[in-house]
Chains A and B, each alone.
Chain A
């Protein structure tokens, strides 16, 4: 996808032209703690006059600076290309063997916008299944499974590339460790994704998250002060808008403070493949299919039947009644009558 437009190489371009065309190039210098090259000077010339003492402090050798800069610019280009590049139409997982060596005998093809539930006891092989997808296994993991992208064996170099990471995980026990406001937090994520309109996408994500969360929060709320439900809502909105991974794994959405069905819809609307490890009947039945895990293998692939779907209404009614009682408790009411 290289065009001639950007030749001569980045390191020969005058710095003001480089920074105008590729504003994110500035990150290379800030990440090393270097001042920006002055206007008129090329990056190559700038590196050439950095003193030996500074290089020693930076922990790099002179020739490496140039190599690193080129690799950094290549990374930026590939991240940007991925945002606009060809999409994934399908992911296929071909069964291997379970812990006893018995053949799984399944092949599952999922397309963007599909929801697949994952059920089975702890230790039944759910994590290994995800690891196989992340690794794009080609019969080279203990399960011997194979993963195909758009029906073909993916390029092995994609295994470790940031921009082709297949799975984004929204795990249950996640925390925020950064001490930032919601707005700063999302903006930082957007910047690392080379988004052009950082402020705009940040607003969209916060608005979406507030639609999902039971209790509202503002853009100035510190992320560490968000409730469990609000954190979940924020991460679902964030992943749906910013993550380039085609698959989103959700490990159970707790009932507290988040509209679960809408949360899943948000991801489906953004054409994500949603894998959901859940034993919540409402969520599990939202899946078109569910994978049943046992003894380290996929024991069955069950398609959700029309009868099961019809039962959803009954489960939702039960859920609504429980929610009403919960709200009554929260508001300090008596719950003598249900």
Chain B
């Protein structure tokens, strides 16, 4: 089975893109399963199942979503193997623009949309910078000039990635993305594999449930802004 990690800012079109690619792959006889990672609630499992794509949901609740992802991905892989998928896609939102679920030697996709503005590629961390494939969406509603500037800015921060435009509504590009995904490497086990980048340093008093504001209540890994 091939595992693909898909990440991207909220509402960038991840689910639509995955659905279009999965439908194109189904036409080629490839079965796809999806694990949707989210924080509070998601209706995406229903969206997938309505289109005949097997899906499972993992809600991180009050845990850091990316830590939750890493703690569960090996079990997800087992579920995918047992279900007999050819391709298992994990979908997660990059909520702090800092983390990435991308794993070394596992095909990593970042979905990012033209509407988010040309400064956005610079603001997104390893989720974009360390992706193998960058899918750019919502190209149909912005001007050609903005599409070109946006693609250039993406290439600036990730010169090595394959950049592909996919229209989540019409499906244009979905077939081509499917071809790229089905050429990914097989993943047998994740135990011992490495994340492409460290999760952010945490462990301050607020991680442990502190709610009061003020220096007296701040312990552990605390960093102060420089106002000088």
B27-59 contacts to A (CB < 8 Å)? 27
Stretch at the interface among A67-75, A275-283, A298-306: A67-75
B149–A135 contact, CB under 8 A? no
A171–B156 contact, CB under 8 A? no
With A32-B122, A74-B159, A142-B27 already in contact, 7 other A-B pairs whose C-beta atoms are closer than 8 Å: A61-B197, A141-B176, A174-B140, A192-B149, A193-B148, A231-B143, A239-B144
- Chain A facing B: main interface SS: helix
B145–A28 contact, CB under 8 A? no
Query: A32 vs B160: C-alpha distance in the bound complex, in angstroms?
Result: 16
Q: A131-B175, A176-B142, A177-B117 are in contact. Are A33 and B149 (CB under 8 A)?
A: no
Q: Inside 8 A of A67's CB, which chain B residues have their CB?
A: 160
Those 8 A-B pairs whose CB atoms lie nearest each other, nearest first: A71-B159, A59-B125, A192-B152, A59-B126, A189-B145, A160-B162, A31-B156, A192-B149
Query: A140 vs B182: C-alpha distance in the bound complex, in angstroms?
Result: 13
Q: Inside 8 A of A170's CB, which chain B residues have their CB?
A: 144
Q: Inside 8 A of A127's CB, which chain B residues have their CB?
A: 170, 172
Q: Inside 8 A of B162's CB, which chain A residues have their CB?
A: 160
Report which of B125, B143, B155, B176 forms a contact with A135, defined as CB distance below 8 A: B176
B144–A27 contact, CB under 8 A? no
Query: A192 vs B149: C-alpha distance in the bound complex, in angstroms?
Result: 6
A160–B144 contact, CB under 8 A? no
Q: CB of A15 within 8 A of chain B?
A: no
Query: A235 vs B208: C-alpha distance in the bound complex, in angstroms?
Result: 53
Q: Inside 8 A of B179's CB, which chain A residues have their CB?
A: 140
Query: A175 vs B146: C-alpha distance in the bound complex, in angstroms?
Result: 9
Q: Inside 8 A of A186's CB, which chain B residues have their CB?
A: 145
Q: A59-B98, A160-B162, A178-B117 are in contact. Are A185 and B145 (CB under 8 A)?
A: yes
Binding site for A on B (CB under 8 A): 27, 98, 100, 114-115, 117-118, 121-122, 125-126, 129-130, 139-146, 148-149, 151-153, 155-160, 162-164, 170, 172-173, 175-176, 179, 197-198, 201
B176 to chain A minimum Cβ distance, whole angstroms, is: 5
Q: Inside 8 A of A171's CB, which chain B residues have their CB?
A: 140
A134 to chain B minimum Cβ distance, whole angstroms, is: 8
Q: A59-B129, A176-B143 are in contact. Are A162 and B163 (CB under 8 A)?
A: yes
* Interface contact tally, CB-CB below 8 A: 108
Binding site for B on A (CB under 8 A): 27-28, 31-33, 56, 58-61, 67-68, 71-72, 74-75, 127-128, 130-131, 135, 140-142, 160, 162, 168-171, 173-178, 185-186, 188-189, 192-193, 231, 235, 238-239, 242-243
B146–A56 contact, CB under 8 A? no
Q: A194's closest neighbor in chain B, by CB? A: B152
B1 to chain A minimum Cβ distance, whole angstroms, is: 23
A162–B151 contact, CB under 8 A? yes
A27–B156 contact, CB under 8 A? yes
B142–A174 contact, CB under 8 A? yes
Q: Inside 8 A of B146's CB, which chain A residues have their CB?
A: 176-178
Q: A59-B129, A173-B141 are in contact. Are A188 and B118 (CB under 8 A)?
A: yes
Q: Inside 8 A of B122's CB, which chain A residues have their CB?
A: 31-33
B144–A235 contact, CB under 8 A? yes
A190 to chain B minimum Cβ distance, whole angstroms, is: 9
Q: Inside 8 A of A235's CB, which chain B residues have their CB?
A: 143-145
A59–B148 contact, CB under 8 A? no
A-B CB contact pairs (8 Å), 29 listed = A31-B156, A32-B157, A59-B130, A59-B197, A61-B197, A127-B172, A130-B172, A131-B172, A131-B173, A131-B175, A135-B176, A140-B179, A141-B175, A142-B175, A160-B164, A162-B155, A162-B163, A169-B139, A171-B140, A174-B141, A175-B141, A175-B142, A175-B143, A177-B142, A178-B146, A193-B152, A238-B144, A242-B148, A243-B148
Query: A97 vs B121: C-alpha distance in the bound complex, in angstroms?
Result: 39
